[in-house]
Structure 1
Amino acid sequence: MSFLKKLFGGGNDKPAAGGDKVLGEESYKGFLIKAIHMPAGSEMQLAGTIEKEIGGELKTYRFVRADRMSSKEDLVAIALSKGRQIIDEQGERIFS
């Protein structure tokens, strides 16, 4: 468990489903997109989650991209944009 905390930035003030620190979130087409904090040295790696309740069960899809940035604002904007793109391309199939 400590490995996952280190990998995904454990010990944060606003945890997502997996205990990740949420930097920003947005509702989009019935999904909830969250930009999450994923440290990568002195920068942050682009990462987020997409959530949706289906049949009474909360489904979560995690995405991590190779992009790294030092600006929290840029990370949030790009992570939310990437989440919208994933939803537009795949919809609920991301949970399959």
Structure 2
Amino acid sequence: MGFFSKLFGGKRQEEAKEVEPVEYKGFLVYQEALSEGGQYRVAGKITKQIADELKTHRFIRSDVLGNEADANELMLKKAQMFIDQMGDNMF
């Protein structure tokens, strides 16, 4: 099946990027914009160590921007606002 995918333009798997988290009020925010049709969708995850468990909240927004840096910057702002509003209750 791999041969036919290559022959007929199947999706190539993108290499996973190493994302450096941003710390905000004890939470770690990972900016992970998704490439989509030449634009970038605002996406990422928020993590926090609670007791002995790493809690994770993933989200993908409907916002789409022209470049990855702008999408990641907006993701950080949205994540900070979400943390301010929800705190540990997001998990």
**Same fold per TM (> 0.5)?**
yes
Q: For the residues of structure 1 that align with 2:43 and 2:17, how far apart are their CA atoms?
A: 17
**Kept in 1: contact 2:33–2:72 (CA 8 A):** no
Select the residue among 82, 85, 91 that pairs with 1:86: 82
Select the residue among 16, 24, 33 that pairs with 1:12: 16
- After superposition, the C-alpha distances for 1:21-58 in whole angstroms (9 at most, x for unaligned) are x3x53100000011103121111100010000001111
2:50 alignment partner AA: I
Alignment length, in residue pairs? Answer: 80
Over alpha carbons, which structure has the higher Rg?
2
Q: CA-atom RMSD, angstroms? A: 1.8
1:66 equivalent to 2:62? Answer yes
Give the TM-score normalised by the residue count of structure 1: 0.74
1:27 equivalent to 2:23? Answer yes
Quick one: percent identity of the two aligned structures?
35
Q: Secondary structure at the match of 1:68?
A: strand
Aligned-residue offset at 1:10: 5.0
Q: For the residues of structure 2 that align with 1:59 and 1:10, how far apart are their CA atoms?
A: 26
Unaligned runs of 5+ in 1: 1-5, 15-21
Q: For the residues of structure 1 that align with 2:14 and 2:85, how far apart are their CA atoms?
A: 30
**Map of 2:42 onto structure 1:** 46
